[in-house]
Structure 1
Amino acid sequence: MNYIYITYDAITEFASDRFFQSAEYSESIMLCNILRGKEEKWQHNKIAFKLVKNGCFFYTEKLNKKRGIIFDLSTFEGFLKNENERIITIFQKTIKYAVRYFEKLPTTTCEKLLPGSTTIVYPFPFTATKDVDKVLIDRNSSKQDRKDRNILTVFFFGNNDKAKVSFTNLNKAIEELVNIRYNEDLVNGTKEKRQTALLVTDLNTLNISIDSKIGYENWQYYLTENQKQFVTSLIKGPERLEGAAGTGKTLSMILKCIYILKSKIDKLEEYHIIFITHSLATKERIIDIFQNNWSEFENYQEKNGSRPIVSIFITTLQEWSANHLGTNSIAENEYLDKDASYSKAIQILYIEQSYDFVMKNHWNAYSLICSNEFSSFFNNTPKENLLEMLQQEIAVMIKGRAGGNFDKYKMLNRPQYSIPIKNDADKSFMFVIFNNYQHSLEMVGQYDSDDITLSALGQINTPIWSRRRSREGYDACFIDETHLFNINELSIFHYINKPEEQNNIIFAIDKSQAIGDWGITNKSLENLFNISLNKTEEHKFKTVFRSSPDIVNLAFNILSSGATLFTNFENPLDYSFFNFTKEDDRKCKKPVYIMHKDDDTIIKNAFDWADNYSKEMNCLKSNILIIATTDILLKEMESYAKRCHKPFEVLQSRSDSKTIKQAIDGNKYILSGIDYVGGLEFDALVIAGVDKGRVPPSKDSNDGAYHFMNYAWHNRMYVAVTRAKYAICILGVQSRGVSPILESSIYYRVLDYQE
């Protein structure tokens, strides 16, 4: 096969059909097999395929012989040397350029018009460490005595800008094109199948999200092959679900639960699932999604001590832990807070109180024997950053790995990016702060989330619980957002299931969404879950459904920047793919980074941009999120909104569905601190206060603190930008300068930078 010719009518169909956007759909796999010459099998309800002597044609009932695109396979090898995922990306980026070319629309950031008649399309994100592959397209074909035809010729793939185009195969294709006729037999042409296609088209045009109330059965239509395999397979041991933000991990977990429960109900088999979330707000959102997609959910929900023969129990780990402390069960007023996320916020206040006391009464003596790095850390690190690192040290290292034992603590290996502890005196001083913190909790008779988790671990790691597990344990444990749990919390999961089912742990993870280096490696997951990852079924989701290609490229560059700086920083967007159709693309805007003179101007422009976007795109205000990078900036935003009578709500916790519902009901903007935006999605967002010295905090602070905060801010920015579907506006103060996290995004023109 020397060429592949696609008429304009088929071009628009390929660009609009969401099942040709990702190689994880069966339709795309079938297309890839034809593009690389592997097979000739084709079935589609609108697009016809015909093999001729020297090549092949794709066209539809609305056959347009005046416009088209030809892939000249004598010089273009983009389909031969690549995997399906890359083939679909190359194909779609080229096809969508053709749509813009024929409709006279502006080019995008991945397209470049060279002097003369050549266009370059960059199908993959730029990184400093990789060669840049490109597609070369000739726009001059219409001038080669083609009468009134306008045809694009795709003639090269690679990193050579000087390849030459030939029109030999184009001439052959035009000779064959004269004989091409549409025949219903070349598509799935039965009346019954055409009626089904109409129903499918209705679903295909829906603007869906995880909150869409379309029902379990209709979700099957949208699932990729990878997702279907995960959702519709029975549980036979541990399963690890990996994917970047917006790839559908949480929804797939929920659909798998429904699939398993429905199959057990049909068979009248007793079966019990526990679904564990990180916070009460997330728990309520998960329950909402179950209710929206399974009408019988409440009949099988375990609650108030009632457990149907087939059941699902949705809970937080802190709730479950507190309920399994036996006779030592704690009273309501003994929690720092019943919500683990709120509990950790209150924990910071107690740590600050202990830190202030110990620094005032003990630091002068300890500063004489502590290491220089440790002393510099305490003397030079901004307090807000220092408290965040102290909280992690107490939770992960002292309580989690050492169990509050000083001798064990001294023997521990250190996380790579953490407090610079170099000798026993440093560790001793840390324990003085820890002991004062614990004493403060004891004085008010309260327990933090780590106390509750570790106490539960002590209770259930006993012969008594081992016996009760057979009756009260679960057949499968689903863990959403595993990356948000610390090592203490992860230690408890493999005790929750029945003894014979203890390996049935299904967990979703994206370590790039965890704020900071928690030291959670594959090896630690094996030990904590008591499983072998070599024997764990892995499901990797690569199709990003939530965000536009430009937004995914921005997130990719942020993570690539982190991976360059930190050896253990992961980039789950490597080889990710998009699911945006031609219609979706028209709603998209290139991400912008705009610098202003001061914070007051930033805040005003944040609301101005949101107002303009809402009007221009006919978008509800509640579909726009305005993020502040600091608590002070958030308070100033609230004050401005009140003064200017802007309708708004403020997120109170991560995945705060209650506040979001209030915003939707009143069509109000949603304001948030940057740590509360995970698990949500919006049409557009503004991030205010992204500049040098603030994101991340200034490098003038101690190196250890700076590395930790830099690491954490790469995580935060990745989580923040992946909340947006179509548009992002980032705002900073000009006198501060550009945030280092965004420098590569500006360099590679992923961001439209404006001063």
Structure 2
Amino acid sequence: MKYSLLVLDISSLNMLSSSVVEDSWFENFIIPSSKKDLKRVVVGDVIYIISKNSDIDSKFLVINLEIFSDSEDKNSGFDRLVTVALSELGTNIRINAKWGAFKEGHFISIYSMTAAKGQGSRYYFNTFPDEYDNVIYAYSKLDQMSKFSQTDLKIKKFRNFTNSLLDALEAPSLENTDVLDENTGIVLLSPSSFMHFGNETLQEWLQNKLTGEQLAFVNRPLDAPVRLKGPAGSGKTVALAIKCLNDFFKKIDEGIYPKFAFITHSQELARHVVTDMFSVLDPSDNWKDISKGELWIGSLYELAQEKLGYQNKAIVPLSLDGREGMSLQIDFIKEAIRYLKKDLRFKTSILPKCSKYFSDRFKSENIDDFVIDISNEFSSTIDADRIKKGTPEAESYVNGRRYNYQMMLDKIEDRRAVLEIHAKYTDLLRDMNTLSMDQMIADFNNHIRSNEWQFSQKYSREDPRSEGFDAIYVDEFHYFNSSERMSFRPLFQPEAFNNDKPPLFMAYDFKQSTRDLNIANFFKKVEIGETQGLELTKVFRSTPEIAAFLQDLDSAFPPLDLAEEWGGYSGSAQTETGATPELRCYGSQIQLVDETFRQALHAANLIGGRNVAVLCLNPELFDTYIRAGRTQDKYAPVTGRDEFIAIKSNIKKPVFSMPEYVAGLQFDSVFIMHVDQLDLSDDELINRQRRFISSTYLGASRASKKLVLSCCYDRGGPSRILNSALANGTLVRTEFDI
């Protein structure tokens, strides 16, 4: 039978938001038998999937099924419809800023697919159809942006819902005894299948499962900032999420309308991991009820775009994910340098006056480290202070004092050259009609220190015009640069401070950061004064054998002035024993690639694709392998942190990515490619060494049961960072045909 409308209520929307829906589901819309609280009802040509307790006042999403008639990716499109509905029906779920939402009155439109697949077509929604204020109606999909007044609202079809609702509420559920759960077309997911989180509720964690270290953190009062340090797999994100939700509900129980924020560096980590955690901790999804309190979840960059109102101003930032944005900024900087290498004025009038050290780095064929240093200079100083070439601020920058967190630019002419690079870089961004992440954060930092922001805080906390939070929980704090760290203090409500100390809770592990860090002064930029520090030492992700390898890898970090915050590896594994991590040495690069993917595919066939990851340490080789024909169809690519949903839905093939893109996730088996000495020659800069080891550490710490590293002799053989582990037997070496 062909259905005209699909009707979902809040209960089914919550279930579907944490599931993967396959194309076959759209044929009969069958729900798994395990969902006893839902019922499937057909009235005429309208199909309902609703709670057995739904009534006429429940909140509904009504979908005109015509919008899927020509869809190539129904799963992704359907996920967008569900998210928009949850965001508009009074929950703390928000529309992904990348979807280009446009609102006018009671109408909304969003892009129907990702930029990679083309963004011309849009979904159209009516949030007040036929004057029903508890219904959102997804009524159309059009090939291009159209004025709402010029769209067909399909109200006649919508009335098939209103005319059949009472019958649907009273009808029993249709039975599907002839359909096995695995054939329904829905893959029910939970964080246990994505992050090995488990299915315990908030109360079960508080009563039975938290360690003493975690409980000490969760029980800290909201009267001072607290730092939570711990190695990968120690449960930092878990403890932070539990504390956030526990504090949130305590405020509600006290009769207070709380305004909390859970902020991450990664948009997708917030959207697909943290929100899933909260739904497991609170199965009733009370945390989503915005009438009880506001719990904002997302990346710092999403928050900045939202508060700056960029969407309504047609201003597009490079990204809303920190890691992806940094990568894109680096691409623009490289392009600016390539341009200036050919520019006659720069080559003859500016570069010859620079120091030999700067000039050699600029002229080098391998400018990766130079570009990262330039990027850090832009974010920490030039964009942060809104410095432009030819201004008085630029002269102050050129002639002023240098600080230890800045790039080494000994001569004034070096600094003038950097300003030339920045000028070309901003020209390229302007040509693309976009803002860099650093430019957006600079605008944001000005906005949240403005009179307008302070004025908005006079409204009552329930008023949507009110700005600021009562408490802020920040995950992946080690990824934020100095300008970004300055954003947190102004985000608090004035009454949140206790003796000038805000309730800011920060989880971090400096060894996972591939940014250059001035750790000794890291927390000074947060401008919150003295902070309390707690440390988690028990590791729940990795086997004792993997933890022992990480401890030996830790000894390879170069001796830097990192203060006591760095410390040695403190992880003590609390899991069952497993195999010793293995280093596989191949004669050639081709042999390494072929064998690694063969082994990963075999593992994926045994334990499922989403449980296996192949991680490449070298960015250039990763891009090469993504494009290479010999590796096609052997993996599910994850080329950015906005592709977490691809990991969720991946069943048969291993994930292929880089460590930075899967930070925050874990896999049963991890294969790390190219721990090669060529990428760490003896004359490398210390920061380069630290970044390479951090990337290896980040990748290895994603593994929970099996860890395999690989190198090849045509790229120098095994990196020296593995010497300690090999000598101590925490890494076993296997030679393949050379």
TM-score > 0.5, shorter chain as reference: yes
Write the letter of the residue equivalent to 1:624: V
Which residue pairs with 2:536 in the alignment? 541
- Structure 1 residues 480 and 751: alpha-carbon distance in aligned structure 2, compared to 1, 3 A threshold: same
Q: Identity over aligned residues, as a percent? A: 22
Preserved CA contact (<8 Å) 1:466 1:499: no
Which residue pairs with 1:341 in the alignment? 323
* CA distance in 2 between partners of 1:576 and 1:671 (Å): 27
2:738 pairs with 1:750: no
User: Where do residues 411-490 of structure 1 align in structure 2 (5 Å cutoff)?
Assistant: 411-415=400-404, 419-470=407-458, 471-490=466-485
* CA distance in 2 between partners of 1:744 and 1:546 (Å): 23
* CA distance in 2 between partners of 1:641 and 1:728 (Å): 26
2:700 pairs with 1:721: yes
1:621-656 CA-partner distances (Å, limit 9, x unpaired):
32111111224433554567866853x211132384
1:31-59 CA-partner distances (Å, limit 9, x unpaired):
xxxxxxxxxxxxxxxxxxxxxxxxxxxxx
* CA distance in 1 between partners of 2:632 and 2:293 (Å): 53
- Structure 1 residues 329 and 604: alpha-carbon distance in aligned structure 2, compared to 1, 3 A threshold: closer
1:2-59 CA-partner distances (Å, limit 9, x unpaired):
xxxxxxxxxxxxxxxxxxxxxxxxxxxxxxxxxxxxxxxxxxxxxxxxxxxxxxxxxx
1:595-644 CA-partner distances (Å, limit 9, x unpaired):
111111001211233355567xx533321111112244335545678668
Is there any run of 5+ residues in structure 2 with no aligned partner, and where?
1-191, 459-465
Partner SS for 1:564: coil
Write the letter of the residue equivalent to 1:438: T
TM-score, structure 2 length as denominator? 0.66
User: Where do residues 506-545 of structure 1 align in structure 2 (5 Å cutoff)?
Assistant: 506-521=505-520, 523-526=521-524, 528-533=525-530, 536-545=531-540
Which residue pairs with 2:100 in the alignment? none
Preserved CA contact (<8 Å) 1:591 1:750: yes
* CA distance in 2 between partners of 1:754 and 1:691 (Å): 15
Counterpart among 590, 593, 614 of residue 626 in structure 1: 614
CA-based RMSD = 2.7
* CA distance in 2 between partners of 1:309 and 1:600 (Å): 58
Write the letter of the residue equivalent to 2:231: A
* CA distance in 2 between partners of 1:611 and 1:473 (Å): 48
Preserved CA contact (<8 Å) 2:616 2:657: yes
Counterpart among 701, 711, 724 of residue 690 in structure 2: 711
Partner SS for 1:454: helix
1:241-261 CA-partner distances (Å, limit 9, x unpaired):
111111111111111111112
Which residue pairs with 1:388 in the alignment? 372
Counterpart among 236, 243, 255 of residue 256 in structure 1: 243
Counterpart among 230, 237, 247 of residue 217 in structure 2: 230
User: Where do residues 261-280 of structure 1 align in structure 2 (5 Å cutoff)?
Assistant: 261-280=248-267
Preserved CA contact (<8 Å) 2:592 2:711: yes
Preserved CA contact (<8 Å) 1:318 1:339: yes
Which residue pairs with 1:85 in the alignment? none
2:549 pairs with 1:554: yes
* CA distance in 2 between partners of 1:505 and 1:625 (Å): 34
Partner SS for 1:400: coil
* CA distance in 2 between partners of 1:641 and 1:625 (Å): 19
2:676 pairs with 1:677: no
Which residue pairs with 1:86 in the alignment? none
Preserved CA contact (<8 Å) 1:377 1:420: no
Partner SS for 1:334: coil
Which residue pairs with 2:571 in the alignment? 576
* CA distance in 2 between partners of 1:655 and 1:744 (Å): 36
Write the letter of the residue equivalent to 1:388: I
Deviation at 1:325, TM superposition (A): 2.7
- Structure 1 residues 575 and 323: alpha-carbon distance in aligned structure 2, compared to 1, 3 A threshold: closer
Partner SS for 1:561: coil
- Structure 1 residues 675 and 207: alpha-carbon distance in aligned structure 2, compared to 1, 3 A threshold: closer
* CA distance in 2 between partners of 1:636 and 1:356 (Å): 21
Which residue pairs with 1:595 in the alignment? 585
Partner SS for 2:353: coil
TM-score, structure 1 length as denominator? 0.65
* CA distance in 2 between partners of 1:507 and 1:738 (Å): 36
Partner SS for 1:562: coil
- Structure 1 residues 378 and 283: alpha-carbon distance in aligned structure 2, compared to 1, 3 A threshold: same
1:489-522 CA-partner distances (Å, limit 9, x unpaired):
111110111012141111111111111323243x
Preserved CA contact (<8 Å) 2:214 2:536: yes
- Structure 1 residues 640 and 467: alpha-carbon distance in aligned structure 2, compared to 1, 3 A threshold: closer
Which residue pairs with 2:595 in the alignment? 605
Preserved CA contact (<8 Å) 1:374 1:419: no
Partner SS for 1:693: helix
- Structure 1 residues 643 and 628: alpha-carbon distance in aligned structure 2, compared to 1, 3 A threshold: closer
* CA distance in 2 between partners of 1:214 and 1:743 (Å): 41
Is there any run of 5+ residues in structure 1 with no aligned partner, and where?
1-205
Deviation at 1:234, TM superposition (A): 3.0
2:718 pairs with 1:734: no
* CA distance in 1 between partners of 2:620 and 2:335 (Å): 20
Deviation at 1:313, TM superposition (A): 0.8
Preserved CA contact (<8 Å) 2:601 2:654: no
* CA distance in 2 between partners of 1:409 and 1:690 (Å): 39
Aligned residues: 523
* CA distance in 2 between partners of 1:216 and 1:251 (Å): 11
Preserved CA contact (<8 Å) 1:510 1:572: no
Partner SS for 2:384: helix
Preserved CA contact (<8 Å) 1:277 1:317: yes
* CA distance in 2 between partners of 1:407 and 1:540 (Å): 44
Preserved CA contact (<8 Å) 1:593 1:753: yes
Kindly name which structure, 1 or 2, has the bigger radius of gyration based on alpha carbons: 1
Write the letter of the residue equivalent to 1:514: S
* CA distance in 1 between partners of 2:593 and 2:240 (Å): 38
2:347 pairs with 1:360: no
Greater shift in the superposed pair: 277-286 or 425-434: 277-286
Write the letter of the residue equivalent to 1:348: I
* CA distance in 1 between partners of 2:561 and 2:728 (Å): 21
Deviation at 1:301, TM superposition (A): 3.4
Preserved CA contact (<8 Å) 1:598 1:734: yes
* CA distance in 2 between partners of 1:275 and 1:635 (Å): 33
* CA distance in 1 between partners of 2:550 and 2:540 (Å): 14
* CA distance in 2 between partners of 1:229 and 1:728 (Å): 32
Which residue pairs with 1:158 in the alignment? none
* CA distance in 1 between partners of 2:445 and 2:585 (Å): 50
Deviation at 1:477, TM superposition (A): 0.9
Counterpart among 366, 381, 384 of residue 397 in structure 1: 381
1:471-504 CA-partner distances (Å, limit 9, x unpaired):
3211101111111111111111101110121411
* CA distance in 2 between partners of 1:450 and 1:494 (Å): 18
Which residue pairs with 2:112 in the alignment? none
Deviation at 1:292, TM superposition (A): 2.1
1:667-691 CA-partner distances (Å, limit 9, x unpaired):
3211102321211111111111111
- Structure 1 residues 275 and 576: alpha-carbon distance in aligned structure 2, compared to 1, 3 A threshold: same
- Structure 1 residues 420 and 232: alpha-carbon distance in aligned structure 2, compared to 1, 3 A threshold: closer
1:697-721 CA-partner distances (Å, limit 9, x unpaired):
x456xx5xx3332121111111111
2:355 pairs with 1:371: yes
* CA distance in 1 between partners of 2:692 and 2:700 (Å): 12
Partner SS for 1:726: strand
1:353-400 CA-partner distances (Å, limit 9, x unpaired):
211122222134333221121122223360334333322222223223
- Structure 1 residues 219 and 397: alpha-carbon distance in aligned structure 2, compared to 1, 3 A threshold: same
Partner SS for 1:274: strand
* CA distance in 2 between partners of 1:381 and 1:491 (Å): 35
- Structure 1 residues 258 and 631: alpha-carbon distance in aligned structure 2, compared to 1, 3 A threshold: same
Write the letter of the residue equivalent to 1:371: S
